[in-house]
Amino acid sequence: MKILVIGGTRFVGRHFVTAAVTRGHKITLFNRGRHTAAPIEGVETIRGDRFSDLAKLAGRRWDVVVDTCGLLPRAVRASAEALRDAVDLYVFVSSQSVYADVSRPGVDESSPTETLTDEQLDKANAIDPATASAVGYGELYGGLKTLCEQTAESVMRGRVLVLRPGLIVGPYDYTDRFTYWVARVARGGEVLAPGRPQRYVQFIDARDLGEWTVRMIERKTVGVYNCNGLPGAVTMGSLLDECKAVSGSDASFTWVDEEFLVEQQVAAWSELPLWLPESVESLKGFMFVSLDKAVEAGLTFRPLKETITDTLTWRTTVAADEAWKAGLDPAKERRLLNEL
């Protein structure tokens, strides 16, 4: 198959491209070229901005387009309209953040999604997309992804596959939200661990997501699918124990009460990735999103050990002085441990 990928050089997109090339598909990337990455042999690249250079795609034909970076509805509309007659299938990478209510376990694809007011949408459109990351849109993010999904479907009705991943992990993860734990445990010593070790966490290896997406495309699947790790399969304790086993470090874990962390204004999810206070009622189902539909459609999962091993190996290739995007500063971690 001939596949056009909007984005495709970073993390999720890169793993999808690798999986597609491995299975013999012909890939064309369309992106600005702002993120350096080792080239993948046999992949064509068209340099361009999705807001101003879609004309560069005119006159070409692909079987599928995979939109890995659509965040503003007007951008998705422009690309969908430009490619409506040039592709058979539009794959949109959305997010689990679209759900309006994750207070209970079992949220599935039919659950209500976030909405935005006209004022909120105007606020989002005023942000310069050339400089803003997804994080920069803050509380608007989920609603924007919902509108992007709806926009793609409105333009290419019946020809859209929407993927709603949760936390994506593995090699090339530039967010560090999983990598922090892998590297921190490998460094050894006393490690501050949040909350209860029995607390469940949910995430998906980017390679599992990429490989499954290729298989879905090959079957010309349409519709909406949650894609995350299996709920109730991994605890925070088992994750950290596996990190220790993989690295062979001398790490010891001090499990810290959530009330203390909240009192000390430790930022959940960012300073302590994968931690969300269990006392927050509105998030009680966030780590228990239903994957029944995706599993039935063939989504599979590699061993946790493999994800940790490969993430740790990849991290050694990153410049030592590169700033971490997530995780506790070592000095702050030591201060918190000393105050217990």
pLDDT digits 0-9 by tens, 298-322: 999 999 999 999 999 999 999 888 9
- Average pLDDT score, the chain: 94
Q: What is the β-pairing status of strands 234-235 and 200-201?
A: antiparallel
Express each pLDDT in 153-182 by its tens digit.
999 999 999 999 999 999 999 999 999 999
| DSSP, residue by residue, 232-290 | TSEEHHHHHHHHHHHHT---EEEEE-HHHHHHTT--BTTTBTT---TT-GGGTTTT---
Express each pLDDT in 225-274 by its tens digit.
999 999 999 999 999 999 999 999 999 999 999 999 999 999 999 999 99
Domain boundaries, the chain: 1-165
Q: Which superfamily does CATH assign the domain made up of 1-165 to?
A: NAD(P)-binding Rossmann-like Domain (3.40.50.720)
pTM metric for this prediction: 0.95
What is the pLDDT averaged over residues 104-124?
A: 95
Q: Indicate the SS3 state at residue 27.
A: strand
The predicted pLDDT at position 131 comes to: 63
